[in-house]
Amino acid sequence: MSRRNSNQLVVPQAKAALAQMRIEAAQQLGVPFSQDGYNGNLSTRDAGSIGGYITKKLVQIAEQQLGGQRNF
């Protein structure tokens, strides 16, 4: 059985934008975040805060792009 990476980007060009979002989220939240790629020293709470912040921002962006329309 092959193992699939669930973190694979659908749009590879988004990698830089997501990296920038991580840095901005850490700054907004006051979380010490290393830009050199290693952040193994982050607590689970801090890492989760960054992920939650990014998710919130991505949802806001999607809502803006959809113009608030809901197609249910």
Please provide the DSSP assignment of 2-54 as one string: PPP-TT--SSGGGHHHHHHHHHHHHHHHT----TTS--TTS-HHHHHHHHHHH
Q: Give a yes or no: residue 53 inside a domain.
A: yes
- Is 27 inside any structural domain? yes
Averaged pLDDT score across all residues of the chain: 85
> Distances from the Cα of 48 to the Cαs of 45, 52, 55, 63, in angstroms?
5, 6, 10, 22
Report whether pLDDT(11) > 90.
no
Domain assignment present for 72 = no
Task: Evaluate whether residue 38 is within a structural domain.
Answer: no
pLDDT digits (tens, 9 = 90+) for 30-54: 999 887 878 889 999 999 999 999 9
Total domains in the fold of the chain: 1
Q: Which domain holds residue 54?
A: 12-31+45-65
CA geometry: angle at 24 spanning 44 and 19, to 5°? 80
Q: Tell me if 6 is assigned to some domain.
A: no
Whether the predicted model's global pTM rises above the 0.85 cut: no
| 71 within a domain of the structure (yes/no) | no
Residue 72 pLDDT more than 60?
no
